Amino acid sequence: MRRKKILLVWGIFVSLVIIPGCAPFVENNTIEDIAPVTFWSISKGEKEKIKMSTLVPPLANVPKSLLTLEVDLLKQGGKDFNLRYYREMKVGQLRMFLIHEELAKQGIIQLINTLLTDYDISQRMYLVIVKGNFDEYINRQEQKQENLDYYLYRMLRHYEKKKQGEMTIVNLHEYKNKLFSPFSDPVLPVFKVVKDNFTYEGTALFSNDKLIKTVTNTEDQIFQLLDNDHYLKFFPIPKLDVVIGHLRSRVNVDLDKNLSLVTINVKLNGRIEEYQGNKNFLNGNELKQLNKEIETELEMKTTDLIKEMQELKVDPLQIGTHSLSPFSKPISEKGWLAAWGKMKVKVNYQLYFKALQNTKNNY
């Protein structure tokens, strides 16, 4: 008995002291010996390989260079980067994962699974779809603007944190939730490279893990009001020669029991920012007529957008979740997509604009 107690005490001692404190392999995190990676750019390579690029050294006031290689596996790329750079590259500060449009059209589930299984990669990392040659853009601009990778991250961070509503911002956690949840399809922001410009273009719609459509301009702005931040600072409607802005939306979705009709009611609060048409703002009747024209235009554009989603058999607005109830058996995802494609759509907008400024003689 005494011998057993001695062995037990000795075992506890080994567990508390030796195992956690004296592991045979220790990560080298000395700041002088490592280089934290801020972004990976991924595109199609030759012979079914993937092309990976990153900028080194990140966040340092020294000349930088773009490292590029072609690999079969994502983690293989991380290893090969270390063999080409004198510091060990760490992914713990990976903030952006940029995927080329062509690769996204083929499917990115393998990339997403690899990122999710890496404990060093934060799920707050931003995912971005890129059109054009991002590597050439980085090479050109890095000579003109220092720490370009950091400023790109700060731009994405700004629009996420401040909920500006001007663009879609999605991180790894949000994409994963929509990808692996029923009655939902993921979306990602799309940026386009044109010479020295890196500009937001719209929202990429995914069917499972494959990019199938990018909505831009008016369609994308409507998407922001329906699903993203429910806010737009400015919303130009060129057809009516008007810009409305500071819009806050409240969206209510109603499905009938037979899943044959979806009604989407949108209440918009905002104001008219600019008008170049022929109506007189000081005339109340003409102002009401303009409001009605704006409502009609938004209803038509929103209906067209929803019908396009039905044709593509995607549900990024998660309308299918409104079919769930606590006392009935949920419809299967396959059954929902079949019903969704045939469903009639009715959209109603109600606009509430603030009183126009500088239209009264206030002395």
Q: Does some domain include residue 164?
A: yes
Band of residue 36 on the pLDDT scale cut at 50, 70, 90: low
Provide the pLDDT for residue 362: 44
The answer to whether residue 158 is domain-embedded is: yes
pLDDT reported for residue 257 = 87
**In the predicted structure, residue 98 carries a pLDDT above the cut 70:** yes
Question: Which amino acid appears at position 32 of this protein?
Answer: E
* Cβ–Cβ under 8 Å, residues 9 and 32: no
Residues 6+ apart with CB under 8 A from 309: 205, 315, 316, 317
Q: Is residue 74 part of a domain?
A: yes
Per the model's pLDDT, the better-predicted residue between 290 and 165 turns out to be 290
79 shares its domain with 209 = yes
The per-residue pLDDT for 347 is: 97
User: Which band of pLDDT confidence, cut at 50, 70 and 90, is reported for residue 363?
Assistant: very low
End-to-end CA distance of the chain: 98
| pLDDT given at position 47 | 85
In terms of pLDDT, which residue wins out, 19 or 311? 311
Please, which residues bridge with residue 205 across strands?
A: 187, 213
- 99-142 pLDDT, tens digit per residue, is 999 999 999 999 999 999 988 888 999 999 999 999 999 888 87
pLDDT of residue 341: 92
Within a domain: 362 = no
Range of the domain at 350: 230-357
The β-bridge relationship of strands 50-56 and 34-36 is unpaired
Let me know if residue 165 belongs to a domain: yes
Q: How far apart are CA 30 and CA 168, in angstroms?
A: 37
Please state, in angstroms and rounded to a whole number, the distance separating the CA atoms of residues 63 and 142. Answer: 9
Looking at 180, 215, 250, which one is the last position of a domain? 215
- Per-residue pLDDT reduced to its tens digit, 290-306: 999 999 999 999 999 99
Confidence (pLDDT) at 17 = 47
Same domain, 259 and 349: yes
Asked if residue 271 and residue 198 are part of one domain, the reply reads no
Measured between alpha carbons, how far is 363 from 359 in angstroms, rounded to an integer? Answer: 12
Q: Which of 165, 186, 215 is the last residue of a domain?
A: 215
Q: What are phi and psi of 61, to 5 degrees?
A: -85, 60
Average pLDDT rounded to a whole number, residues 230-241? 92
| Any domain includes 363 | no
Q: Please count the structural domains in the chain.
A: 2
Shared domain for 55 and 189, answered yes or no, is yes
170 and 285 belong to one structural domain: no
Q: Are strands 39-44 and 50-56 parallel, antiparallel or unpaired?
A: antiparallel
Q: Is the pLDDT of residue 160 over 90?
A: no
pLDDT, position 11: 58
Alpha-carbon gap, residue 18 to 228, rounded angstroms:
50
Q: CA angle, 326 as apex, 265 and 312 as ends, to 5°?
A: 50
Q: Say if residue 43 is in the same domain as residue 146.
A: yes
- Domain endpoint, select from 215, 249, 273: 215
The CATH number of the domain holding residue 302 is: 3.30.300.210
Contact 243, 133 (CB under 8 A): no
Shared-domain flag, residues 208 and 251: no
pLDDT band for position 324 (cuts 50, 70, 90): confident
Q: Are residues 170 and 208 in the same domain?
A: yes
User: Has residue 77 been placed in a domain?
Assistant: yes
Query: Which runs of consecutive H residues, i.e. helices, occur in the chain?
Result: 2-13, 19-21, 74-84, 101-106, 109-116, 134-142, 148-161, 172-179, 217-226, 284-312, 333-342
Mean pLDDT of the region 79-85? 71
Residues 141 and 243 in one domain: no
Asked if 247 and 240 touch (Cβ cutoff 8 Å), the reply is: no
Same domain assignment for residues 305 and 186: no
- Sequence-distant (≥ 6) Cβ neighbours of residue 183 within 8 angstroms: 315, 318, 319, 320, 321, 323, 324, 333, 336
Whether residue 243 has pLDDT greater than 80: yes
Do residues 305 and 334 share a domain? Answer: yes
Say whether both 57 and 95 belong to one domain.
yes
222 in a structural domain: no
Average per-residue pLDDT for the chain: 84
Q: Does residue 249 have a pLDDT over 90?
A: yes
pLDDT at 32 over 60: no
3-state secondary structure of 251: strand
Lowest mean pLDDT among 166-170, 178-182, 326-330: 326-330
Token pair belonging to 143: 């000579």
